[in-house]
Amino acid sequence: MTCCSIFWSIVFSCCIVGCAGLQEDEQRYDLVIANGRVIDPETGFDAKAYVGIIDGSIKRISLQSLSATEVVDASGLVVAPGFIDVHSHSPTLLGQRVNLLDGITTQLDLEAGGYPVDFYGEHFSAGAQINYGASVGHWAVRTKVMEGIDQPYVFAGDKFMSMLGSAWTERATLAQIEQMRELLNIGLD
């Protein structure tokens, strides 16, 4: 049920919206996730429930069964919003896949970051199945200023291993520090 795990992660990153004015027995859903332990940290909801989905959006969470074109039985499973990984160094297709298998729908590199930040996630250029992003990494900006090397993320293969030059062994000049400050601000913008 790997596809099911991925589907749940994506579905539950949607907003929870109520079906105003409709009785439960009047509404038919495209999909119902049934019998799972539904956890919504925002509201504190935690119960065995039914999740009604129309056009990819959650429309109702109910303690009563709901009618649908398709029903997924989540008995014995937890149904929750997608998790956020704030310490990821794997903006790759493999990293994305592994995160989805664990219910992570957003991966962020907020510890090391990179520069230029818009290169982060270049492996997703054909499309990403998750949300991703990075902070501006001081180490990456320092490497750009002192070595002339762009480092979009920590594990950039041979480039990372070969940059054991002045950025890692020498003090920056005042002019280099000013250039780093400017690049950090540009990256944050």
pLDDT in tens, 54-84: 999 999 999 999 999 999 999 999 999 999 9
Total tally of structural domains belonging to the chain: 2
What's the whole-model pTM score? 0.64
What sign for the dihedral angle of Cα 155, 160, 164, 168?
negative
Alpha helices in the chain (DSSP H): 2-11, 93-101, 138-147, 158-162, 166-169, 174-188
Token output for 93: 């297709």
Say whether pLDDT at 7 is over 50: no
User: Which of 30-39, 63-72, 73-82, 89-98 shows the lowest per-residue confidence on average (mean pLDDT)?
Assistant: 89-98
Query: Both 94 and 183 in a single domain?
Result: yes
Say whether pLDDT at 113 is over 60: yes
CB 145 within 8 A of CB 183: yes
Query: Both 91 and 165 in a single domain?
Result: yes
Instruction: Tell me the pLDDT band of 2, cut-offs 50, 70 and 90.
Output: very low
CB 123 within 8 A of CB 140: no
Which residues fall within 8 angstroms of residue 171, CB to CB, at 6 or more apart?
Answer: none
Query: For residue 68, what are the domain limits?
Result: 2-79
d(CA 48, CA 41): 15
Query: Both 88 and 169 in a single domain?
Result: yes
